[in-house]
Amino acid sequence: MSDPKEEIVEHIGAMRAFAISLCRNSATADDVVQDALVKAWSNLDKFQQGTNMRAWLFTIVRNTYFSLHRKRKREVEDVDGVMAEKLSQKPEHDGKLVLRDFSQAFDQLTDDQREALVLVGAQGFSYEEAAETCGVALGTIKSRVNRARARLIELMDMDETESIDITDAVTTGVVQSRPAA
Amino acid sequence: MAQKMAKPEHPRRNRRDLDDEIDQNLKRAFDKVAEEPLPSRFTDLLEQLRNTEAGGKS
């Protein structure tokens, strides 16, 4: 037997990662996830069994993020500086430079592009699921993902360099870092 | 611009491979965060949610 409430629990980690990629700040992200979790828990009867629960939960995370964001307006948020600091302390071995480039390039995408790429590229959502989650047309999602990838390739000169291989520690920075103010 | 000079030491890589590479790296970044142990605020919250429910139904 599968209790849908216990199924929610399995997605909390992914909800956090998604929220961090939206908020670019892990403390804010956890506030968002906490609110979203309470909402999901109490609205579980609205979830359609057999559909993609993660997509449903991400939609709630997204709505929570935007309403919180509107509320806080441009209230100054603490930059999650820990990872950025570690990155800047790394010696510039040839490989490492490329890793930092990836993180910085990712930050240069627009919010819409980043979100679309995270859903489709990192989460493996279909374009349809991603479009539904973001509440936009299918073509819009396709175009955002395509532009996001093209921009990363351009920013990193990826088509003219060796393949990048991001180590675990640095990879986390890609999701957690935040554009410089 | 139509005729870009080929750089023999770095043959241009095809777009599909590049897209895959981006996705793989993002996926690893995402999974790494997703697999972190849940902060206690969430385990506490879950316990609270479960208790509230048990109380409400009895």
DSSP string, A56-120: HHHHHHHHHHHHHHHHHTT------HHHHHHHHHS---HHHHHHHHHHHHHHTS-HHHHHHHIII
Predicted confidence at residue A73, as pLDDT, reads 57
| Best of B30, B35, B38 to mutate (most A CBs within 10 Å, chain A) | B30
Nearest to A16 among B7, B12, B33 (CB): B33
CATH number assigned to the domain covering A81-176? 1.10.10.10
What's the rounded mean pLDDT across residues B26-52?
91
DSSP state, residue A145: H
Residues of chain A with CATH 1.10.1740.10: 4-72
For each of chain A's 181 residues, which pLDDT tens digit applies? 468 888 999 999 999 999 988 888 888 999 999 999 999 999 999 999 888 999 999 999 999 999 987 776 555 444 454 444 434 444 344 444 455 677 788 888 999 999 999 999 999 999 999 999 999 999 999 999 999 999 998 888 777 666 655 555 455 556 655 544 4
What's the rounded mean pLDDT across residues B33-56?
88
Neighbours of B47 (CB within 10 A): 10
CB contact under 8 Å between B29 and A122, yes or no, is: yes
Predicted confidence at residue A5, as pLDDT, reads 86
Predicted confidence at residue A94, as pLDDT, reads 46
CB contact under 8 Å between B23 and A171, yes or no, is: no
Residues of chain A with CATH 1.10.10.10: 81-176
Q: How many CB pairs under 8 A join A and B?
A: 99
Torsional sign, CA A46, A70, A37, A39: negative
A4-72 topology per CATH? Rna Polymerase Sigma Factor; Chain: A (1.10.1740)
> How sure is the predictor about B33, in pLDDT bands with cuts at 50, 70 and 90?
confident
Give the tokens for residue A58. Answer: 């991400």
Q: Give tens-digit pLDDT for B2-31.
A: 555 554 555 677 889 889 988 988 888 888
Predicted confidence at residue A129, as pLDDT, reads 95
Per CB-CB distance under 8 Å, the chain B contacts of A61 are none
> How sure is the predictor about B41, in pLDDT bands with cuts at 50, 70 and 90?
very high
CB proximity list for B7: less than 8 A, separation 6 or greater = A160
Interface confidence, given as ipTM, is 0.75
Closest residue of B to A39, CA-based?
B49
What is d(CA A64, CA A70) in angstroms, rounded to the nearest whole number?
10
